[in-house]
Amino acid sequence: MLLLSDTHLPVRAKALQEQVWRMVDEADLVIHAGDWVDVALLDALEVRARRLVAVAGNNDGPELWQRLGGLARVEVEGVRFAVVHETGSAAGRERRCDARFGPASEQPADVLVFGHSHIPWDSVSPSGLRLLNPGSPTDRRRQPVGTVMTLEAEAGALREVTLVPTPR
């Protein structure tokens, strides 16, 4: 599985790196947590990815919002994923996300994938909700290089969550 967010094409970069396209080709599922900017990347990923789950972000226009919406859910190998773009500030993030997506919520998830900050994040809330932000492959914002995440879901658990650098 490949996690992407904040691609901001063609504003922050002209195109995704070939390295990222190879990961798209290899992934059983691509999850994109918003801020596409241009619908052309969505069209390209819909053609190239085996399966795509995605949301729109705060920099996305009406067509992306109409096609994607702001919340997506998918279950893979017994692991329930929720996808949003924004979760608010880092302070108190786990508590806020627990309230919305944790075991006591109306539709609980095991993993929340989010974006917006362009800063990779991997934490676990007090209730056990895993929070993952893959960063941005194209706009590294205060990071040494751009990033994406890969992971595997198997038998109800995550395996091998890896932050992958995506240098230009």
Farthest CA pair distance, the chain: 42
At 145-156, the pLDDT tens digits run 999 999 999 999
Q: 111, 114, 64: which is closest to 90 by C-alpha?
A: 114
At 47-97, the pLDDT tens digits run 999 999 999 999 999 999 999 999 999 999 999 999 999 999 999 999 999
pTM, full prediction: 0.96
Question: What structural domains does the chain harbor?
Answer: 2-165 (3.60.21.10)
How far is the CA of 164 from the CAs of 45, 77, 135, in angstroms? 19, 23, 10
Give the C-alpha separation, 115 to 148, whole Å: 11
Give the C-alpha separation, 108 to 122, whole Å: 18
Contact between 56 and 34 (Cβ < 8 Å): yes
Least confident among 80-84, 104-108, 140-144, 147-151: 140-144
Contact between 146 and 136 (Cβ < 8 Å): yes
Phi/psi of residue 121, nearest 5 degrees? -145, 135
Size (the chain), residues: 168
Two tokens at 60?
A: 């996305």
Contact between 70 and 101 (Cβ < 8 Å): no
Two tokens at 42?
A: 């969505």
